[in-house]
Amino acid sequence: MSEQKSAAQILRVMSYNIQVGIATSRARHYVTGSWKHILPSSQRLPNLDRAAKLIQQYDIVGLQELDAGSLRSNFINLAEYLAERADFPYWYHQVNRNLGRLAQHSNAFLSHFKPDRVENLKLPGIIPGRQAIMAVFESETDALAVFILHLALGKRARTRQLDYIAERVSDYPHAIVMGDLNCRGDSQEMQLLFRKTSLREPTDKMCTFPSWCPQHHIDHILVSADLTVKNTCALRHEVSDHLPLIMEIELPSSIQMNRYAHQGLSLENYLGRSIISR
């Protein structure tokens, strides 16, 4: 009698531009609430608490537009705050633009699975500072790389950044690329990425911006062609000017993702030398 085939593992991922916990729900709030990008707000942490209740349901979460601890966040590292509130045992934050006490713009990676390696990838661009996070999960004969991005506003810079990401994606048999890419899936720069890699976007147009009236498809979760997507959607969760994008991915049997019991650990401390800047 043949052995029963084990059930495929489903990985639940999310990409969310959190807008530093500012609940923008109308265009006019960009003006009336602009001070919240500089000064503390009593609504910020309650908004993030709402976000924490949502993101805790997912295995891996990529966050953009956080703050690593400055005046506007009451000197709280928002990646750490969300990781603790949402019970993520592994988290890592990456500062993209350090304005000292005024602001520390950052991305974050939160995971229920321990990556074997995390890298900071310096993205090309006219204005220095933008980076990507790459987390690598290794099995005996296979590997999965997860990239978290927040790309530039300018097309020329985005093209260079995605060209660089294409090179890094090609180093791994399986990849997930997610984030606020500031461009549509049919843009020239995205099409260049698709031509150079096996990445695809297995969804219809999924509008996530602005959150109160989604019209623009600028947040994305891209996967290697050999990864099976079971479900994807944008969630109605308005604690930012973006909606969160989620996806359920069936992993090949050669990739084994296991949960670990270590709680509340910054990956920078846990992995030590495995955190690499390039």
Which tokens belong to 154? 């300018």
Q: Is residue 92 part of a domain?
A: yes
Number of separate domains in the chain: 1
Residue 265 within a domain: no
Which of 140, 164, 265 is closest to 274 using CA atoms?
Answer: 265
The model's pTM: 0.90
Q: Half-sphere exposure (CA, 13 Å, Cβ side) for 37?
A: 13
For the stretch 168-213, pLDDT in tens is 999 999 999 999 999 999 999 999 999 999 999 987 678 999 989 9
Instruction: State the pLDDT at residue 5.
Output: 55
CATH number of residue 156's parent domain: 3.60.10.10
Residues near 263 by Cβ (< 8 Å), separated by ≥ 6? Answer: 87, 89
Q: What is the pLDDT of residues 12-60, one digit of tens each?
A: 999 999 998 888 776 777 677 787 788 888 889 999 999 999 999 999 9
- Please give the share of the chain, as a percent, with pLDDT higher than 70: 89
Residue 260 lies in a domain: no
Query: Is residue 261 one of the residues assigned to a domain?
Result: no
Q: Are 132 and 123 in contact (CB under 8 A)?
A: yes
Answer yes or no: is 28 within a domain: yes
Q: Which domain holds residue 88?
A: 10-253
In a domain, 181, yes or no: yes
Query: How far apart are the C-alpha atoms of 114 and 68, rounded to whole Å?
Result: 21
Band (pLDDT 50/70/90 cuts) for residue 249 is: very high
Domain membership flag for residue 166: yes
| Range with the poorest average pLDDT among 32-41, 78-87, 176-185, 265-274 | 265-274
Q: Is residue 264 part of a domain?
A: no
